[in-house]
Amino acid sequence: MADYVDLDGVRTWYGERGEGEPLVLMHGGFSDSRDFAGNLGTLADRFRVLTPERRGHGHTPDHDGPITHDLMAQDMIAFIEKVAGGPAHLAGYSDGATVAMLVALRRPDLVRRLVLVSGAYDLSGYLFAPQPGGEFPEQVVAAYAEVSPDGREHFPVVVAKMLDPDSAPLGLDEEALRGIGALTLVMSGDDDLVRLEHTLSIYRAVPSSELAIVPGTSHVLLHEEPALVTELVADFLTTDPAPTILPIRRGQPSP
């Protein structure tokens, strides 16, 4: 099913499938919930999968004012409270992972387990990023136009808002990430748009984290290796961590 929910004045579209513990999937920037078609969306056979589309993305219309990570995090906190009805597993992809980090830091009581796929806590984590005034691939623009209630001509407005310096993540660095208490899976393609060194810095900063580098994939790993990515995420969400035989990072310090 699909529906709209009012989040403090932002009319937000979301999809819902399955039953069980809620799993909120957060799409990438300039994209929508179709990021999860054929991959994490198939976890509806085990979870109540919720796929909100953030302000100015997908079926959710743009809203007066800026589109900042701070506002998107507030929206997602309100969504989890209002639609999920309480603590949920949270999986964010690309820019959605950045928003997910903010949610986990601001409202740890609402996050059960956290999955960060090809995410970055700072723009320096990307090998390259869209620039104001630059052109986007026609595939991206056409996908936006296909479902946006604002129409194709509004896409440059959303781009300008998203690329405004004020939309950058607020206060996110390695020190801040140490405050994430949820068990976290950090995932990336081995040839990702996000620097591998940056992905490693997230893994090392988040205290209770696991790392998955998917071989032979890029920033679009959700669609390049959908079965493998989904299996890794499903195992992470449904299995308690087992002690390793030779723990190093997870080893307890000597008394």
- Of 66, 98, 88, 70, nearest to 14 by C-alpha is 88
How much of the chain exceeds pLDDT 70, in percent?
Answer: 97
N residues, the chain: 255
Burial class of residue 128 (count of CB atoms within 10 Å of its CB; 0-12, 13-18, 19+)? exposed
Looking at residue 130, its pLDDT comes to: 81
Asked whether the CA dihedral 204, 43, 193, 215 is positive or negative, the reply is positive
Strand 2-7 and strand 10-17: pairing?
Answer: antiparallel
On whether the CB atoms of residues 113 and 89 are closer than 8 A, the answer is yes
Burial class of residue 166 (count of CB atoms within 10 Å of its CB; 0-12, 13-18, 19+)? exposed
Looking at residue 171, its pLDDT comes to: 74
| Phi, psi of 199, rounded to the nearest 5 degrees | -60, -40
Q: What is the mean pLDDT of residues 206-229?
A: 98
The tens digit of pLDDT for each residue in 224-250 reads 999 999 999 999 999 999 889 998 888
Q: What is the mean pLDDT of residues 66-85?
A: 97
Looking at residue 133, its pLDDT comes to: 74
